[in-house]
Amino acid sequence: MLSSMTGYGKGIIQKDDFTIEAEIKSLNSRYLDLSLRVPKFLLNKEFEIREKIKNRVKRGKVYLSVTVRKGELEEKFNEIDPAAVQVAVNILKDIKKSARITDKIKLSDILLFQSMLFKDDSAQASEEFDLVAGSIDSAVDELNKMREAEGRELEKDLKKRIVLIESSLDKIEKSSDESIRTYFERIKEKAQQLVADFSNNHDRLNMELALLAERSDVTEECVRLRSHIKMFLDTMEKSEDAGRRLNFILQEMNREANTINSKSIASQISHYGIFIKEEIEKIREQIQNIE
């Protein structure tokens, strides 16, 4: 089953006076590109958060935002350590005494020691990470549901365009033999007018004309294009990493379509070939959105 690279999801978990909200969205990208915005006390859990998303999302530009609220306040601030504050004040007093400074100690002076004023938040992060992880899982669930729903619509469109390509390919194969025979006879008539001793070179002339006609035969290209189409459809049904593989197969399909057009000797075949290339280009645009 195909999955789109664009989607959105939100997960909310509430416990006591805590509300944890994870919001995730994804856009097209050649590779997986994660951008995280999490509260400060979760920064040491960033690697685990990234791994959690990588296990469930393979490609796309992914934005994750986690918000933690306590009551009406966003994010839980670390609790102040009174003993550490007193230590900072004592240090400042010692500095004043040693430097013979008479100015009063200000809050801005104390905040210079802010790295030691707050209690260690590692325990808080550990306790709350399970809740955060749950909200992220819920958000990714919603994201993937949306991506899969869009993927199903993309699959319908791609299959419809493949049917159109196969229909044009049928017409090319039916027209090819007749156009080659017509081409052969037309050149032969011109040759008869140009070669005075035609009767003496009949076999050689027919051989040259046959080789010329053979170079205009698109049977092999049609067979290869059908093979690529089958592979394309199989990949849509079975491949887990469909986006990159479909893009490669489409390049091969386009190569065969180009060869058919370059070898075409009938305007009708050229028209069908151009139509196939137009559909291939439309498919190319669509699969840029496939994971």
CATH of the domain at 31: 3.30.230
Quick check: is 36 in a domain? yes
3-state secondary structure of 32: strand
Range of the domain at 258: 150-287
Residue 77: pLDDT band (50, 70, 90) is very low
- 232 within 8 A of 253, measured Cβ to Cβ: yes
In terms of domains, do 127 and 202 share one? no
**Least confident interval from 42-56, 114-128, 207-221:** 114-128
**Least confident interval from 11-20, 50-59, 162-171:** 11-20
The token pair that represents 209 in the structure block: 């004309």
In terms of domains, do 96 and 142 share one? no
DSSP 8-state secondary structure symbol assigned to residue 15: E
Quick check: is 228 in a domain? yes
In terms of domains, do 95 and 155 share one? no
Q: How many CA atoms lie within 13 A of 155 on its CB side?
A: 19
In terms of domains, do 173 and 203 share one? yes
Which among 99, 117, 135 is the end of a domain?
Answer: 117
State yes or no: pLDDT of 217 exceeds 50. yes
Sign of CA dihedral 48, 49, 54, 59: negative
Quick check: is 238 in a domain? yes
Which among 117, 138, 167 is the end of a domain?
Answer: 117
State yes or no: pLDDT of 26 exceeds 90. yes
- The average pLDDT across 181-200 equals 60
Pairing state between β 32-37 and 18-27: unpaired
Give the H/E segment covering residue 1.
none
Number of structural domains found in the chain: 3
Quick check: is 1 in a domain? no
pLDDT digits (tens, 9 = 90+) for 131-177: 889 999 999 999 999 999 998 999 999 999 999 999 998 888 877 76
**Least confident interval from 94-103, 162-171, 269-278:** 94-103
CB atoms under 10 Å from CB of 95, counted, come to: 12
Residue 76: pLDDT band (50, 70, 90) is very low
Quick check: is 233 in a domain? yes
In terms of domains, do 108 and 125 share one? no
- 265 within 8 A of 216, measured Cβ to Cβ: yes
In terms of domains, do 166 and 143 share one? no
In terms of domains, do 72 and 192 share one? no
Map tokens 């698109």 to a residue: 218
What letter represents residue 110's amino acid? I
In terms of domains, do 35 and 132 share one? yes
Query: Is the full-model pTM beyond 0.85?
Result: no
In terms of domains, do 17 and 130 share one? yes
In terms of domains, do 263 and 210 share one? yes
Quick check: is 33 in a domain? yes
Question: Which distant-in-sequence residues (6+ apart) come within 8 Å of 148 by Cβ?
Answer: 1, 3, 4
Residue 207: pLDDT band (50, 70, 90) is low
In terms of domains, do 96 and 158 share one? no
161 or 267, which is more confident?
Answer: 161
Quick check: is 2 in a domain? no
In terms of domains, do 215 and 274 share one? yes
DSSP 8-state secondary structure symbol assigned to residue 216: T
Quick check: is 180 in a domain? yes
